[in-house]
Structure 1
Amino acid sequence: MDTETIKQRLARPATRLIAGGFRPAHTDDESWLGRVFLFRPDEGIPLNSAGEQMLPYAQFFLSGLPHASPALAGTRVLTLFISRAFPDAFEPMGDNWLIREYGLNEVLVRKELAVPGSFLKAFPLKAEELAEDYPLWEDGGIPLDVEEAVHALEEAGSLDSYYDLITHCHEHKIGGYPSYCQAGVHVGDGFEFVLQISSDPKINLNVVHGGSLMFWKHPGTGQWAIYYDFY
């Protein structure tokens, strides 16, 4: 197996999301971190299990992005809320974190609903298409035959390192591969990696110690899963 075949086997498209650096247009088709303003008419800020308002982490207008996960087919807008204290990894959605998905024809209204004391700074997102994102070597997501092919190329002197062959986006993104800080985990059969929000001083987010919030969805059941790790 040569290097091009290895890359073809592993490559996935993704959208890198960059916070700020431009003036927002304040239109409904913008994506944001630290801000949510699109709701169903009967919705407001969700409450956690303690009756406290969750923080608005993100609003993604998926129709305007160059790539969105196939698991989000039929979803026009996705919003994310998380409690002030992070939920446990793999904690079921509902008590301390919530994703809302809105279909292509759902009626949404703008509501400027601030959460007092939120530490997140709101920034609009600029989308950048990534034709290729690759898994980290340590994450456990590389097929065994591809691992063996990489080792064979290294032993033959044709390749110094796997990381000379590939690139990986550690930033905010939709699609691609998760940016594990520790060895990868198995979320569950049938789940597809969808998006991540990474530590970012611009939005005042530090996931424990430089980690990332990562989210998967099961296309069959619609169930979401959350995981995060850190250095």
Structure 2
Amino acid sequence: MDIEAIRRHLAKPATKFIAGGFRPTHRVEESWLGKVSLYRPNEGIPTNEAGEQMLPYAQFHLPSLPFNHPALADVRVLTLFMSRSFPDEFEPMGKNWVIREYSANEELVCKDLTVAGSFLKAFPLKAEAVAEDYPLWDGGGVPRDIEIAVLELERAGAIESYYDLVTHAYEHKIGGYPSFCQSGVEPDEDYEFVFQISSDAKINLNVVHSGSLMFWKSRTSGDWTVYYDFY
């Protein structure tokens, strides 16, 4: 397998996000970190199992993005809330984190709801297309046959390392591959990686120690699961 065949086999598109750096429009099409403003008329900020309000983490307006994950094809707006303390890895949704998905025909209203003492800073997001995102080498999703082909190229002197071939987007993103800090631990094959929110000093988010919050969705049930690791 040659270099171009390896790239074609692995490459996935993504949308990456940069927080701030421009004046927000406050239009419904704008995506945010640290803020959620769109709700169903009867919705408010969700609470965790201890009865405490979760923090508004993210709001994505998906039709406005240069790339939207196929698992979200019927979703117009996605919002994320999490408890102040991170949930356990692969903890079921509802106790300490909630993702809400809204279709195009649902009525949404803008609400100026905040959580007292939230450590997150709200910033609008600039979305950029990533034509080709690639998995990380160590447990990041490289199939075994591709690993063997890359090692053969290294032994032949065609490349010095896998990272001569590929790039990886570590930013906040929808699509592409998860940015594992340690050897990757993914849920079962029914789940596909959809999006991540990474540590970002601008929004005052540090996932334990420069890690990322990563979210997968079930192909069959539509259920979500969460994982995170750190350096």
- For Structure 1 versus Structure 2, the TM-score category normalised by the shorter chain is over 0.9
Q: Name the residue aligned to 1:228.
A: 228
Q: Aligned partner of 1:215: which letter?
A: F
Q: Name the residue aligned to 1:121.
A: 121
Query: 2-side partners of 1:104 and 1:91: how far apart?
Result: 29
Q: Name the residue aligned to 2:214.
A: 214
**Counterparts of 1:86-105 in structure 2 under 5 Å?**
86-105=86-105
Secondary structure of 2:76's counterpart equals strand
Please tell me whether the aligned partners of residues 140 and 177 of structure 2 are also in contact (alpha carbons under 8 angstroms): no
Instruction: Give yes or no for the alignment of 1:186 onto 2:189.
Output: no
Distance apart, 1:142 and its partner CA: 1.1
Structure 1: 5+ residue stretches without partners: none
Q: Name the residue aligned to 1:171.
A: 171
Distance apart, 1:140 and its partner CA: 4.6
Q: Aligned partner of 1:91: which letter?
A: E
Normalised TM-score (structure 1): 0.99
Please tell me whether the aligned partners of residues 198 and 213 of structure 2 are also in contact (alpha carbons under 8 angstroms): yes
Instruction: Give yes or no for the alignment of 1:79 onto 2:67.
Output: no
Distance apart, 1:193 and its partner CA: 0.3
Query: 2-side partners of 1:186 and 1:31: how far apart?
Result: 27
Q: Aligned partner of 2:85: which letter?
A: A
Q: Aligned partner of 1:218: which letter?
A: S
Q: Aligned partner of 1:127: which letter?
A: A
- State the aligned residue count: 231
Query: 2-side partners of 1:200 and 1:67: how far apart?
Result: 22
**Counterparts of 1:1-20 in structure 2 under 5 Å?**
1-20=1-20
Secondary structure of 1:138's counterpart equals coil
Secondary structure of 2:152's counterpart equals helix
Query: 2-side partners of 1:86 and 1:186: how far apart?
Result: 18
Instruction: Select between 119-128 and 185-194 the one with higher mean Cα deviation.
Output: 185-194
Q: Aligned partner of 2:7: which letter?
A: K
Normalised TM-score (structure 2): 0.99
Please tell me whether the aligned partners of residues 140 and 179 of structure 2 are also in contact (alpha carbons under 8 angstroms): no
Please tell me whether the aligned partners of residues 140 and 180 of structure 2 are also in contact (alpha carbons under 8 angstroms): no
Deviation digits for residues 11-50 of structure 1 (CA, Å, limit 9, x no counterpart): 0000010000000111001000000000000000000000
Deviation digits for residues 53-101 of structure 1 (CA, Å, limit 9, x no counterpart): 0000000000100111111110000000000000001000001000000
Q: What do you get for the CA RMSD once the two structures are aligned?
A: 0.6
Are residues 23 and 140 of structure 1, via their aligned partners in 2, closer, same or farther at CA, if it must alter by over 3 Å? closer
Q: Aligned partner of 2:22: which letter?
A: F
Q: Name the residue aligned to 2:39.
A: 39
Q: Name the residue aligned to 1:201.
A: 201
Distance apart, 1:219 and its partner CA: 2.4
Query: 1-side partners of 2:26 and 2:215: how far apart?
Result: 26
Query: 2-side partners of 1:110 and 1:139: how far apart?
Result: 41
Instruction: Select between 169-178 and 136-145 the one with higher mean Cα deviation.
Output: 136-145
Secondary structure of 2:116's counterpart equals coil
Instruction: Give yes or no for the alignment of 1:110 onto 2:110.
Output: yes
Distance apart, 1:186 and its partner CA: 2.7
Distance apart, 1:226 and its partner CA: 0.1
Q: Name the residue aligned to 2:62.
A: 62
Distance apart, 1:190 and its partner CA: 1.2
Query: 2-side partners of 1:83 and 1:67: how far apart?
Result: 28
Instruction: Select between 185-194 and 170-179 the one with higher mean Cα deviation.
Output: 185-194
Superposition misfits of 4+ residues, deviation over 4 angstroms: none
Structure 2: 5+ residue stretches without partners: none
Secondary structure of 1:137's counterpart equals coil
Distance apart, 1:125 and its partner CA: 0.2
